[in-house]
Structure 1
Amino acid sequence: MKAAIFRQAGQPLEIEEITLSNPGHNEVLVEVAATGLCHTDLHFMDGHLPVPAPAVLGHETAGIVRAVGAGVSYLQPGDHVIGCLSAFCGSCHQCLSGHPSICEDQASINRDDKEEPRLMQAGSSVQQFMNLSAFADHMLVHEHALAKIDKAMPLDKAALIGCGVTTGIGAVMRTAKVELGSSVVVIGCGAVGLNAVQGARMAGALNIIAIDINADRLAMAKKFGATHVINSKTASPVDQVIQITLGKGAEYAFEAVGSPQLARDAFMMLRKNGTLVLIGLMSQDAEVSLPFMQFIAERRVMGCDMGSNQFRTDMQRLVAFYLDGRLNLDDMLTGRIPLHQINDGFDDMRKGQGIRTIIDFSIG
């Protein structure tokens, strides 16, 4: 099968042939229909975060089950599925207490060193990325990395739910639990930020303030539900947010870029008792400096791991919202390319072009 191989940070991905093992216990073979190009993949490609090489990246994906191994009862061949990087063991403290996105024993769903690797090339192991490795035309994964969905859902749109949509909406709905009538700030209007915007709309926020330096993305934020937009190239975002909220600040702020300075700015936009959720990935050594006196008024800072999702149920609900016309995915999908153009797609991402490009495995 063909896959885009990561071999070294800062270098293009290489399109090569690899082989998959046969499905083992609790494993599923999926024919990949579409995989989104996500900024998370780019962080690893550019060396901001480490990953062993060689590896097959890619994690925002959807496809069709083609075979299942022994012990699989949740899925059968022909099922349509979305992949999820927050695969779960199902038996640790976090899983059993309703927090599978921060599973404490995710390693238990991997093959051990005595077993044949799931991914191989010329007899050597290829690293599986985030339990998926979706920059390939097939995946061999544990069934706990998949969510079964309605076959009426277009798989190119379903792929988007696998990361950007679930993360952005989940950050609002599950991590922060935004309350009706609140003021919400979202810094960064890429795929995750736009979904935080529409998550705030779906949650009934009163003021939804989108901040970016890209005028096209700010225009897109209005389509997703922003009531106010701020171009931080031309205006002080902190001052503007305070003004829009009549001097009080916002109840919730979401930093969806991954910048310590923007995280600080977002914190300074908060109302007393407000909550900042850090969604954007930062490098391992990044530190965020915040003024202590602001904490006295009970302001909070929260991390966010893929929107605190419960993906087996959350993704089915998001699919239903899309099919019902309440979730905007069509405007998110701004490009589709064949696998061999994957590096061009990431070059466009570096330039800030488009919202979400997918690898469409039905073309070229």
Structure 2
Amino acid sequence: MTTRSRAVVLEEFGRPLQLREFDVPDPGEMSAVVRVGYAGVCGTDVHLRAGKLPVPTPVVLGHEAVGQVSALGKGLTHDVLGNPLHEGDWVSWLNNVACGRCRFCLVEHQPTLCTGNRKIYGINQSSDAWPHLSGGWSDYIYLQPGTVLVKMPEVATPQQVISLGCAGPTAVHGVLDEVRVRFGDTVVVQGSGPVGLASAMYAQLAGAAQVIVVGGPAARLELTEQLGIGHHHLDIFEVTDPAERVEQVRRRTDGNAGADVVIEATGAPSAVAEAIEYARPDGSISVVGQYTDHGTTPINPHLITRKNLNISGSWGFGARHYIGYVSSLPQLLERFDLGRLVSEYPLTDANSAIDDVKAGAVLKAVLRVSDE
């Protein structure tokens, strides 16, 4: 096995990322070393570089990736679903390792709220500390004991698996777990980034009669329409008045009553107040997009009470959501050309990729690693 690995490191907030080299350790018991093939660039990475989340530096970025098993540690013989693992197998993995001991892990079954030092690849593990290679923006990543490792389904290429990165399991949590989409429902999805589009796809798979995507810009909505993601598309850059957007959406619902389910996936605090207006009485809202703190926004709580609304927060994703994403890939690929969402960059162009994500110039930026 190669003894050195390149890695893209965030050393200072607000500064360009740096390409560094680290030794590749041998895997310990129940651990694995994976040769990264593709690594996704997420909106969270933009926030990390800007210093909007309290993470240690330096850190190898990359919390979504796929790759081939390079070496398996003692005792690690199967993935989490019982499939045998061998060197060379293509795998993906849950990006966090919960403690498995705290109240939220054991009693509430909400490991995303783990209070026991949850480890997150590419986010909260300093590259100064062993095993150093704890992020996916690198030639190799060291997967520690307790990692939910999944052998990729044969029907999906590595590019297709990474196309929804962490957006896929995030949507499984927010759309299928925190709210319930039923056959015949009208669903409004706010946001046309990866999380918003993944949410729209899962709403369609769940049987929604119509999915209305409220987002932009126009070129992104045009591609979304071409891929069959959503049935109606409303451009927020064309319809800039929130009241007019609400009116246009409600006209598409039964009796102008509003949507059965609203998924907020924008990251803009004001979108939450708009979601309350979109929802019908006794409707459901899943707030998925507020991962980083962009501040407060005024809402009218009377509407929540008067409309008897059910509002859920959705924070990240756990093992069942990630496994749900991987298991659903055959169904997703039957309906949607996921590969068209992706724009590829070499690992050495990580700064350009993150700049393009910040500017909204691409839908899903992916770092191509293994063929360099």
Q: Is this a same-fold pair by TM over 0.5?
A: yes
Q: Do the aligned partners of residues 176 and 137 (structure 1) sit closer, same or farther apart at CA in structure 2, a change above 3 Å counting?
A: same
For residues 47-66 of structure 1, what are the structure 2 equivalents within 5 Å?
47-66=51-70
Out of 336, 341, 349, the residue aligned to residue 341 of structure 1 is 349
Q: Do the aligned partners of residues 127 and 93 (structure 1) sit closer, same or farther apart at CA in structure 2, a change above 3 Å counting?
A: same
Q: Do the aligned partners of residues 298 and 329 (structure 1) sit closer, same or farther apart at CA in structure 2, a change above 3 Å counting?
A: same
CA RMSD after TM alignment: 2.7
Out of 176, 179, 200, the residue aligned to residue 179 of structure 2 is 176
Is 1:208 paired with 2:211? yes
Distance, in Å, in 2 between the alignment partners of 1:332 and 1:158 is: 11
336-345 or 224-233: bigger deviation: 224-233
Out of 242, 249, 257, the residue aligned to residue 258 of structure 2 is 249
Task: Indicate the residue corresponding to 1:115 in structure 2.
Answer: none
8 Å Cα contact 2:94-2:319 kept in structure 1: no
8 Å Cα contact 1:168-1:199 kept in structure 2: yes
Is 1:352 paired with 2:356? no
SS in 1 for 2:117: helix
Cα distance, 1:347 vs structure 2: 1.4
1:272-315 alpha-carbon deviations (Å, 9 max, x no partner): 11122111135336234321211212212211123566146314
193-202 or 143-152: bigger deviation: 143-152
Task: Indicate the residue corresponding to 2:277 in structure 1.
Answer: 268
Out of 5, 14, 39, the residue aligned to residue 18 of structure 2 is 14
229-238 or 335-344: bigger deviation: 229-238
Cα distance, 1:269 vs structure 2: 0.9
Q: Do the aligned partners of residues 299 and 171 (structure 1) sit closer, same or farther apart at CA in structure 2, a change above 3 Å counting?
A: same
Out of 164, 167, 170, the residue aligned to residue 164 of structure 1 is 167
Structure 2 residues without counterparts, runs of 5 or longer: 80-84
Task: Indicate the residue corresponding to 2:82 in structure 1.
Answer: none
Task: Indicate the residue corresponding to 2:324 in structure 1.
Answer: 314
8 Å Cα contact 1:2-1:136 kept in structure 2: yes
TM-score (norm 2): 0.85
SS in 1 for 2:328: helix
Distance, in Å, in 1 between the alignment partners of 2:249 and 2:367 is: 37
Q: Do the aligned partners of residues 309 and 98 (structure 1) sit closer, same or farther apart at CA in structure 2, a change above 3 Å counting?
A: farther
8 Å Cα contact 1:56-1:126 kept in structure 2: no
Task: Indicate the residue corresponding to 2:137 in structure 1.
Answer: 135
SS in 2 for 1:244: coil
Cα distance, 1:105 vs structure 2: 5.8
Q: Which amino acid aligns with 1:225?
A: I
Task: Indicate the residue corresponding to 2:222 in structure 1.
Answer: 219
8 Å Cα contact 1:19-1:119 kept in structure 2: no
SS in 2 for 1:23: coil
Task: Indicate the residue corresponding to 1:154 in structure 2.
Answer: 157
Q: Which amino acid aligns with 1:140?
A: Y
8 Å Cα contact 1:119-1:127 kept in structure 2: no
Distance, in Å, in 1 between the alignment partners of 2:150 and 2:107 is: 19
Cα distance, 1:218 vs structure 2: 1.4
Task: Indicate the residue corresponding to 1:240 in structure 2.
Answer: 248
Structure 1 residues without counterparts, runs of 5 or longer: 111-117
Out of 283, 290, 301, the residue aligned to residue 299 of structure 2 is 290
Task: Indicate the residue corresponding to 2:33 in structure 1.
Answer: 29
Distance, in Å, in 2 between the alignment partners of 1:320 and 1:172 is: 18
Cα distance, 1:86 vs structure 2: 3.7
Q: Which amino acid aligns with 2:27?
A: P
Task: Indicate the residue corresponding to 1:70 in structure 2.
Answer: 74
For residues 76-115 of structure 1, what are the structure 2 equivalents within 5 Å?
76-78=85-87, 79-90=89-100, 94-95=104-105, 99=109, 101-102=111-112, 104=114, 107=117
Q: Do the aligned partners of residues 354 and 285 (structure 1) sit closer, same or farther apart at CA in structure 2, a change above 3 Å counting?
A: closer
Task: Indicate the residue corresponding to 1:300 in structure 2.
Answer: 310
Is 1:198 paired with 2:207? no
Distance, in Å, in 1 between the alignment partners of 2:102 and 2:150 is: 19
Q: Do the aligned partners of residues 308 and 25 (structure 1) sit closer, same or farther apart at CA in structure 2, a change above 3 Å counting?
A: closer
Q: Percent identity?
A: 25
8 Å Cα contact 1:185-1:250 kept in structure 2: yes
8 Å Cα contact 1:210-1:221 kept in structure 2: no
TM-score (norm 1): 0.86
Q: Do the aligned partners of residues 194 and 315 (structure 1) sit closer, same or farther apart at CA in structure 2, a change above 3 Å counting?
A: closer
